[in-house]
Amino acid sequence: MLGLERYLQPAFGRVHPRWKTPYVAILTQAVLATVFMLFSIVGRGTTVERAYLILLDTMLLIYFIPYIDLFLCFLIVRLKEPLPDPEARRTGTTVAVIAGGSGLLLTLLAMMVASIPPSDTAEPWLFRLKVIGGAALFVLIGGVVYWRGRRTARSLR
């Protein structure tokens, strides 16, 4: 999809003539997943179970990032946009702050819990580095892809 929308190189949107699948994108994803899996097993005492936990926690961090954005946007809009009825304004804003604030705090708490290593981890700092660093790396890669795609799309106009 990213290749078809020109956020990535056109090769990523190339469809296989026989199977009608974006084979370059699939092969690239397989290579990147393999590389990330290999990075997750680096370190003393890293088992397959621990590598799976690292990958799961990394994906949870990435998964929760849009929820932080959604709760913040909800709170900002609810606080800036007045409701037409004065009574609804007072109770609606209070309920919105409670709901949005609790959702935001629970999301942040879930992200903190996901970055806590198991108690029997030999090197907790390495676990945190893999989980938080992996999530940050994926966010950075996404930002670079988006930035390049926007720049390319502007140049095509």
Residue-wise pLDDT tens digits, 92-101: 788 889 999 9
Question: Residue 55 above 70 pLDDT?
Answer: yes
Pick the residue with more confidence: 64 or 39? 64
Cut 0.75: pTM above it = no
Tell me the helix, strand and coil percentages in the chain, rounded to 5: 75, 0, 25
* Integer Cα distance of 37 and 95 in angstroms: 43
Amino acid at 45: G
28-55 burial by CB neighbour count: b if 16+ within 10 A, else e?
beeeeeeebeeebeebeebeeebbebbb
60-119 confidence digits (pLDDT tens): 999 999 999 999 999 999 888 877 777 666 677 888 899 999 999 999 999 999 999 988
Q: Are 5 and 145 in contact (CB under 8 A)?
A: no
28: tokens are 């690239």
